[in-house]
Amino acid sequence: MSKSSVGMVVQEAQGRYNDPSSLVAEDNPQKQKPETAPHVQPVEEEAIAKDSQNDESLERDRCDTASVSRNVDPNHTQAHLSWWRGLDSSTIDMYRRAWQSFLENDKTKVVGKGRGIVLVAGNRDTFARALTSIKLLRQYGCALPVEVWHLPDEHPNEEQARELQDVGAVPRDLAEPSLPRRIDHRRDADKQFQIKAASIINSDFKEVLYLDSDNAPSRDPTFLFDSPNYRKTGALFWPDFWKTHAENKIFDVLDVPCRDEWEQESGQIVVDKARAWKPLQLAYFMQEHNDIYFQFLNGDKDTFKFAWKALGVPYHMTETFLGMGGSIVAGRFCGHTMLQYADDDNDENAPPLFVHANLMKITDKNHFMEEAEGGQTIERPWHEIKRYRPSRNAVWLQPQFYIAPGGRACMDFLNNEGEPEPVVENFDEKLRAYQSLYFQEGGIGGEIRS
């Protein structure tokens, strides 16, 4: 099928997506798996093998359980459940044929050379956050080259460009003409999730550590490229708080089995592009057609894991569950920063490797201000770390999102139904000097509100 034909399939599928008359709403929809076009069979290692193609009910039962339903993202599920239930088999088949045709006709392969770090920045304060992450990396002795990708209307200003140069980072425009996955415009949305895969693909590096701009490592992460799990699979992923709902039709569109497993948190990814070129292209395809795929998946994050699954390419999902950094608010822990760990530390007492301020950046800065010694007022967002321990390969856990007094978005970990008892650790003792160094290097804590 030609490129134009692929486009026609996608447009036809989008037309059905936008046409309510084509959606059949059912209180108890029959789950009939549409006929599947052949494609690469998944392998057993880290990427989970498929069971019988004809036994969907058995596959669905594996994640239509309390263990999954208690952990689905409530907001995303509530917003999209009726749409999933209304998708008919012919629409699902068109979605499937579109991505398969795209891969069959795609001849692009420019994997790059060497190892490096890729970040995406541009809007609001993301350049400043990215700069802090890079400065911290240099403080730790990390010598990896760095590229900071941006949309064509989001060039760094002169001061930012100079600071990037000072720390050995190169700004890259996604509209550069020679790129394999060029993006010359922004989508009509606040968050530009579709540029993550393109930035990894377009980078000059063969092996990439991707970091979100608000994700600052606590030490040099270069060792990940030589870790046993990366050497074995060529891709390292990290878990999120949520699981994918049993009725989410992404399983049918990509023809992968439903499983009781954590979704992916893509604030950090390590990937060998030569070993994973095809799944990267599928992740790009899903991000490019975000008007369809982000109805299944909440943003770009799980497009990577599902692309690897669909093509049977091995990956390693970090077995140690994430923790949260935060403080006590009105007598309850309020986590605002994701903390991700490295399996290859082989020690669940090891400090977190990645400090991802996903909720901190949308919290009023005034909540974090406190008086230090000498009467000086400083910003101190991190007081405690809360996490499950042990947590490796655990699926019976209960992360919970809630709103604290004052409208603060928070995450907490519960243990009311047999989960491991969470442990609370002092942040500054676990990550010595991190907090002071973060702000010393220009780190941004909460947002400034008028």
**For position 193, what pLDDT does the model report?**
66
Q: Give tens-digit pLDDT for 300-327.
A: 999 999 999 999 999 999 999 999 999 9
**Given 250, 283, 317, which residue is the final one in a domain?**
317
Question: pTM of the full predicted structure?
Answer: 0.87
Write phi, then psi, for 228 (nearest 5 degrees): -60, -40
Q: How far apart are CA 88 and CA 100, in angstroms?
A: 19
Does residue 339 share a domain with residue 372? yes
In a domain, residue 23? The reply is no
141 token code pair: 């002795």
Does residue 362 share a domain with residue 271? no
**For position 374, what pLDDT does the model report?**
82
Is the per-residue pLDDT at 236 higher than 60? Answer: yes
Per cent of the chain over pLDDT 90 is 79
Confidence tier at 189 by pLDDT (50, 70, 90): low
Is the per-residue pLDDT at 23 higher than 80? Answer: no
Does residue 252 share a domain with residue 351? no
Q: Which helix (H) or strand (E) holds 236?
A: strand 235-237
Confidence tier at 29 by pLDDT (50, 70, 90): very low
> b/e for 176-208, b at 16 or more Cβ within 10 A?
eeebebebeebbeeeebbbbbbbbbbbbbbbbb
Q: Give tens-digit pLDDT for 60-88.
A: 667 889 999 999 999 999 999 999 999 99
Does residue 126 share a domain with residue 254? yes
**Given 286, 317, 348, which residue is the final one in a domain?**
317
262 token code pair: 């954590």
Q: Give tens-digit pLDDT for 345-356.
A: 668 789 999 999
User: Which residues form the domain of 271?
Assistant: 115-317
Q: Which of 46-50, 182-186, 389-393 has the highest mean pLDDT?
A: 389-393
Is the per-residue pLDDT at 9 higher than 80? Answer: no
**Given 250, 284, 317, which residue is the final one in a domain?**
317
**For position 123, what pLDDT does the model report?**
75
What residues contact 111, with CB distance under 8 A and at least 6 apart?
206, 273, 274, 277
What total number of domains does the chain contain?
2
